[in-house]
Structure 1
Amino acid sequence: MEHPFLVGLADALTADGVAVLRFVFPYVEAGRRMPGPAAHAVATWRGVEAWLAAHAPGDYTAVGKSYGGRMASVAAAEGAIAPARLVYLGYPLHPPGRPDKPRSAHLPAISVPQLFVEGANDPFIDPRGQFDEVVASCQDARVRWVDGGNHSFEVKGARRPAEQIGAGLAGVVGAFAGGR
C-alpha cells in the first residue's frame, strides 16, 4: 500500500479529483511475501466494497497492481464484488516463463468494462498472442500499452522513480474510472 508506485498513482489521482482508497491484503498485513489463498484476497475485496457502500456509496472502479488486479477480477467474476469498472496495472496472465499456466479462465465472465494497462515488455504476458486472445475473449476490454515498459512499467534507459511512474499512469486510470 505504501509502495512508491502506488503512492505516486494515488497522489496524482487525488490531485485530479479522483477519490482513492488503498488497502493491504492479509498476507501483507501478516508480514509474508507470498500471497495466501485466493479466497482471502476475494474476502478482502468484498470487505473493501462493503466499506465503500457504508462510507462512499455509488459506483467505483476497482484498480489493482499485478496480484491486486487479478484478485479484483476473480472477485468480480465470482460476484463477490460489483465495481462499475476494473483496471489492471500489469495483469499477471501467467508466472514469468510459464504461459502454460494462464490465469484467465474467469475473465470472460466479467461484464463490466476492463482496462489492462500493460508494459510492452512485461514477461507476465509473453507470448503477446496469448495475451491478445485473452483480451479478445473478454466482454468489454481494452488495453493501454506502455511502450518499452516491464511489469513495473519501468522502461530500459529511462530511469524514473517508481512514484513518478505511478503518477504517470493517473491520466489513463482516472479517465477510465470516470467512464471516458
Structure 2
Amino acid sequence: MSSKTPDTSEPSGTSETSGAAAGTPDATVETVGTDAGPARVTWHRAPRGARFVLAVGHGAGGGIEARDLRALAAVLPAHGVTVALVEQPWRVAGKKVAPAPKTLDTGWRGVWPALTGPGLPVIAGGRSAGARVACRTARELGAHAVLALSFPLHPPGRPEKSRADELLGAGVPTLVVQGGNDPFGRPEEFPEGEHELVEVPHGDHGFAVPGRADITQEEAVTVVTDAVVRWSGSLG
C-alpha cells in the first residue's frame, strides 16, 4: 500500500524534508510499504511525453541528497524521463548503518510495484550499494535497463573481492558511470561485458573532484547527467 502527498514546501526546504532536487518544488513524495519496512519515493515527473521512469536508489553511506542523484532529478524530466528517488526502509527509519544485501533487495522489490504504476518502462538505477541492488534484481523484476552509478566493483584495496558477477549478470542494457579515481573500482579495472562505461575524470566514489583537477565539480556532474541523457535517449 502506498500514499502520495504533494510536496508544497519552498525549494530550499524541499531538500531538507524530502530530498527533492533544488528547483523542483512540484516533486511528490510517496510512502510505500515493503517487507523490510516503509520506503519512500520522491517523484520528479517529466512535464510531458515521458518515455521512462528512472528509479534510483542511494548508497550505504548516504541518501538521495547525493550530488549525482539531485542532478539527475533536476535534469532528466526535461528529456522525457520521470525520476523516482528511492529511499530504502533503513534510511526512512533513521538508521545509520545499511542492512545486509538481502534486506536491501527486499526493500527494492517492495517498492517496484509503485515504480511501475505510471505504466512506463522502468530503468532500475542506483549509486554504490544501490547499483548492486539494481543489478541483482533487474532480470527478476523486468527492468528495462540498469543505471549503475559508482558501482562498487570491490572493497577499497581488495580487488580480489570482485563483484563483477553482479554487474555482468544484470541481463539488460546497462550504463556504468564511474569516477576515474574511485577506490571501489577505477574504470580500467572493469571487465569486458555488454555494459557501457563512462568515466568521470578525477572523480572519487561520490564524483567529487580535487581542486587541482582540470575539470570543475559542476563539469564533473554534467558528465554524469549528459551521459544518462544520451544513453536513455538511445534506449528502445
- Please tell me whether residue 2 in structure 1 is matched to residue 62 in structure 2: no
Q: Partner residue of 2:168?
A: 108
Write the mapping of 1:17-32 to structure 2, written as runs, cut at 5 A. 17-32=80-95
Cα distance 1:166–1:41, how it changes in 2: closer, same or farther (>3 A)? farther
**Which is further off, 116-125 or 28-37?**
28-37
Distance across 1 between alignment mates of 2:170 and 2:67: 30
The within-5 A match list for 1:66-81 is 66-76=128-138, 79=140, 81=141
| Matched letter for residue 142 of structure 1 | E
Q: Report the CA distance between 1:132 and its aligned residue.
A: 2.7
Aligned-partner residue type, residue 230 of structure 2:
A
CA gap 1:68/1:103 in 2 versus in 1, 3 angstroms: same
Q: By how many angstroms is 1:57 displaced?
A: 1.4
Please say if 1:132 is aligned against 2:198: no
How far apart in 1 are the matches of 2:230 and 2:109?
24
Q: What CA RMSD, in Å, does the superposition of the two structures yield over aligned residues?
A: 2.2
SS at match of 1:116: strand
How far the C-alpha of 1:23 sits from its partner, in A, is: 1.3
Unmatched runs of 5 consecutive residues or more in structure 1: none
Greater than 6 Å deviation, 4+ residue runs: none
C-alpha displacement of 1:24: 0.6
- Pairs within 5 Å for 1:50-65: 50-53=113-116, 55-65=117-127
1-structure distance, mates of 2:223, 2:80: 15
Equivalent residue for 1:46, pick from 89, 103, 109: 109
| Pair 1:160 & 2:217 matched | yes
3-state SS, counterpart of residue 118 of structure 1: strand
Q: Distance in 1 between matches of 2:149 and 2:166?
A: 17
What CA deviation, in whole Å up to 9, does each residue of 1:133-180 have, x standing for no partner? 2xx1x3x2110011111111122125636xx75455222112222335
Secondary structure at the aligned position of 1:149 is classed as coil
Greater helix percent: which structure?
Answer: 1
Instruction: Report sequence identity in percent.
Output: 32
Distance 1:5 1:105, change over 3 A: closer
What is the distance in 2 between the residues matched to 1:5 and 1:27? 21
Q: Deviations over 1:65-106 (max 9, x none)?
A: 1111111111125x2x22111111100111111212222223
| TM-score normalised by L of structure 1 | 0.82
Q: Which has the higher contact order (CA 8 A, sep 6+)?
A: 1
Structure 2 unaligned blocks of 5 or more: 1-63
* 3-state SS in 2 of match to 1:21: strand
Q: 1:146/1:11 Cα in 2 relative to 1: closer, same or farther (>3 Å)?
A: same
Conservation of the 8 A alpha-carbon contact between 2:182 and 2:204: yes
Aligned pair count reads 169
The structure richer in strand per residue is: 2
Say which SS state the counterpart of residue 32 (structure 1) adopts. coil
- Shift in CA distance, 149/117, structure 1 to aligned 2, threshold 3 Å: same
Q: Deviations over 1:7-41 (max 9, x none)?
A: 22211112333211111112212222321021222
